[in-house]
Structure 1
Amino acid sequence: MAMIEDAGRRRALRTLTAGALAAGGGLLSVRAFAGGLATVNMQLGWVPGGNQVGEVVAKRLGYYEKEGIDFHIQPGGPNIDGVAIVASGRFQTGEISSSPSIMLAVSEGLPIKCIAVGLQQHPYTFFSLKKAPIRSPQDMIGKRIGIQSTGMVLLRALLAKHKIPENQVKIVPIGADMMPLVAGQVDAVTGWQTNTTALKPLGADRVDLRLWDTGVRLYALPYYATTSMLKEHPETVQGFLRATARGWMYANQNRDQAIDMLVKDYPNLNRADERVAIDSLMHYAFDQTTQTQGWGAMDAAVWEEQIAMYGQLGQFRAAQPKVDDVMTLDVLKATHSSRLKV
């Protein structure tokens, strides 16, 4: 893909901002009290599911309420630009699938910053089969790589990092399922390693090559807020992060109960599938870094690395953002002790 974000985002932001002004403004204020609580809406970039298990647990166990917050999850989807919605001030916080969406939005002038990340490493993976395994970037040479349009820049980054000319790999546009690999139409497909349900058709013959392990380090499930929210309501943002961290930590330690809560909130989910998926998810949410820095920790150096990489690939239409424009460690520092244990 040439660019992940386009003029549509800027138009959406202008429309949303105009709507906020027409409605009398004030949308950035979280002090629209609901029973004495500050309302915080978290806008997603997708339809809610297993990735929200921590927030579901935190809400059901009253962690947000204890922080003085009336918390709501706002669903996203393919036709919803969640980042633009939050940037307009309509909602207070947001979560997006991958960190590049944050830095690309900031480069376009949207006033948001990442405050924490849900997963310590990105689970984006190239899946192949044992009969024709792809265990390293060099194994891709001469192979057919099935990939969605949104993943093209990630493949380009991998090839560039390992100095593999793009014309040495055959790129095959595919959808989100694994069947092209099963049917032998491609030699590899892509997806999240945490999406255990989608990976079922590949069975025990699956071979994984994680993007992170190839040296392309991105974050997954980053949380963000507007710069105005961070400046005007820092205590509320800190309370939101404390409660969210507690929810994730409880879910990690009580996985069966967490999945019970999840399927009660989202009955369309399959409990058995989600119970398998949570083990993979928690492997990414908690690691050696979180043992000392707590859930949600992130490294400015990783952000610097990916900004430079996207700049080299020509992904920024406007000015290349600086690390401090894209993320802040202030909220993590203010909540450090609260994110180490439930």
Structure 2
Amino acid sequence: MLLKPVATALATLLLGGAALADTAMPFALDWRFEGPSAPYFVAVDQGLFEAEGLSVEVTAGEGSLDAIPKVATGAFPVGFADINSLVRFLDQNPGAPVIAAMMIYDKPAFAVIGRKSLGVEAPADLMGKTLGAPPPDGAWAQFPIFAAENDLDMDQITVEPVGFPTREPMLAEGQVAAVTGFSFTSFLNTKRLGVPEDDISVILMADHGVDLYGNAVIVNTDFAEANPEAVTGFLRAVAEGWKATAADPEAAIEALTGRNPGMDAALELERLQLAMETNVMTDWVMENGMGNIDPDRMANAVEQIKLTYEFQNDPDPALYFSDAWLPDDGSLSMQ
């Protein structure tokens, strides 16, 4: 007579355990579904999140200033955002429960894109030239750091405020000799306008003295403290998604196509490969693994931010990045 109640209780216990393991972790991207977001969909489609007991839905965004508040308010437990924007947000909102937990863009995409035929191949070449820069552009926001690190005299550079839609067309038409922008985006836009690839110079600010980091996985700290294993599992799945993408970029773009049917698959594949080669799979990452940071570099990055931003509070790198939830089982190795 007791067998049925016991069996029912056991089934309830097992189902309850499965439900508890299926932790919902919606993920807020900073931008639209483009090539560099493919690894997260690979992680979804290959069951990498599911293997960690997570239910993950990836949501498009409208920039870091959109993703950061979503995570800080707890609307999303995890997101993807520029760490430099996070530094400013936390300075203006001290104590907000959000922090970077996994660095993805070891080198940010901030760049100057120039035309070799117009005399721009290196930072010093900007002297005496006209530079097109959209006022809200993230790369333009870091230009004072780039200028200081390369001894550029701003009085000798003509800065032409341009709109995002006209930036690359003006470069293609020779109205400006260079523009500020994200390396892979502005390069591809300029190339699509008919400028030969060998005439385009991409001057990555990170290769010329700018120590800033780029986009990172950010986490709501209240959620992370309550669910540390879920956060670690999420970060492990992200790393595995990037490794799978590096092994088969074409398949990764196929995973993205279902979420963005109108995209140009060839273009997004090239965008993904440029981001991987230049920003994600850097020499430092290949040696040290994905996700962590160099504390000395981060400290210097904060000092460089002071050139473009006046802190309201004493800056502290420990407020902006924590490695507390990074997996330590070797899954971050990109080898």
TM-score with structure 1 setting the length: 0.83
Tell me the alpha carbon deviations over residues 247-269 of structure 1, each in whole angstroms, 9 at most, x when there is no partner: 11001001121111111222122
Q: Give the match for residue 179 of structure 2.
A: 189
Tell me the alpha carbon deviations over residues 266-302 of structure 1, each in whole angstroms, 9 at most, x when there is no partner: 2122111122222212213213323343222322222
CA distance, structure 2, for counterparts of residue 193 and residue 85 of structure 1: 27
Tell me: CA distance 1:160–1:320, structure 2 relative to 1, closer, same or farther (3 Å): farther
CA distance, structure 1, for counterparts of residue 216 and residue 63 of structure 2: 18
8 Å CA contact 1:136, 1:214 repeated in 2: no
Q: Give the match for residue 7 of structure 2.
A: none
Q: After the TM superposition, list the runs of 4 or more consecutive aligned residues in structure 1 that deviate by more than 4 angstroms.
A: 33-36
8 Å CA contact 1:133, 1:207 repeated in 2: no
Tell me: CA distance 1:114–1:155, structure 2 relative to 1, closer, same or farther (3 Å): same
- Which of 252, 261, 265 is the aligned partner of 2:246? 252
1:208-287 to 2 correspondences below 5 Å: 208-283=202-277, 284-287=279-282
- Which of 89, 103, 110 is the aligned partner of 1:105? 89
Structure 2 residues without counterparts, runs of 5 or longer: 1-17
Tell me: CA distance 1:79–1:292, structure 2 relative to 1, closer, same or farther (3 Å): closer
8 Å CA contact 2:39, 2:245 repeated in 1: yes
Tell me: CA distance 1:190–1:34, structure 2 relative to 1, closer, same or farther (3 Å): farther
- Which of 326, 331, 334 is the aligned partner of 1:338? 331
Shift of 1:75: 1.7
CA distance, structure 1, for counterparts of residue 41 and residue 227 of structure 2: 23
Structure 1 residues without counterparts, runs of 5 or longer: 1-32
Please tell me the residue identity of whatever aligns with 1:138: A
Q: Does 82-91 or 260-269 show the bigger shift?
A: 260-269
Q: Does 300-309 or 159-168 show the bigger shift?
A: 159-168
8 Å CA contact 1:242, 1:335 repeated in 2: no
Q: Give the match for residue 43 of structure 2.
A: 58
Shift of 1:215: 0.5
8 Å CA contact 2:130, 2:158 repeated in 1: yes
Please tell me the residue identity of whatever aligns with 1:73: V
Tell me the alpha carbon deviations over residues 160-199 of structure 1, each in whole angstroms, 9 at most, x when there is no partner: 2233343222111122341111122211012222235313
Q: Give the match for residue 14 of structure 1.
A: none
CA distance, structure 2, for counterparts of residue 274 and residue 291 of structure 1: 23
Shift of 1:336: 4.9
Q: Does 249-258 or 107-116 show the bigger shift?
A: 107-116
Please tell me the residue identity of whatever aligns with 2:100: C
Please tell me the residue identity of whatever aligns with 1:335: D
SS at match of 1:239: helix
8 Å CA contact 2:107, 2:282 repeated in 1: no
Shift of 1:203: 2.0
CA distance, structure 1, for counterparts of residue 292 and residue 19 of structure 2: 30
Q: How many aligned positions are there?
A: 308
Q: Does 181-190 or 192-201 show the bigger shift?
A: 192-201
Tell me the alpha carbon deviations over residues 185-220 of structure 1, each in whole angstroms, 9 at most, x when there is no partner: 211012222235313223231122111122012222
CA distance, structure 2, for counterparts of residue 241 and residue 327 of structure 1: 14
8 Å CA contact 2:110, 2:180 repeated in 1: yes
TM-score with structure 2 setting the length: 0.85
1:120-131 to 2 correspondences below 5 Å: 120-131=106-117
Shift of 1:309: 1.0
SS at match of 1:142: coil
Shift of 1:79: 10
- Quick one: percent identity of the two aligned structures? 22
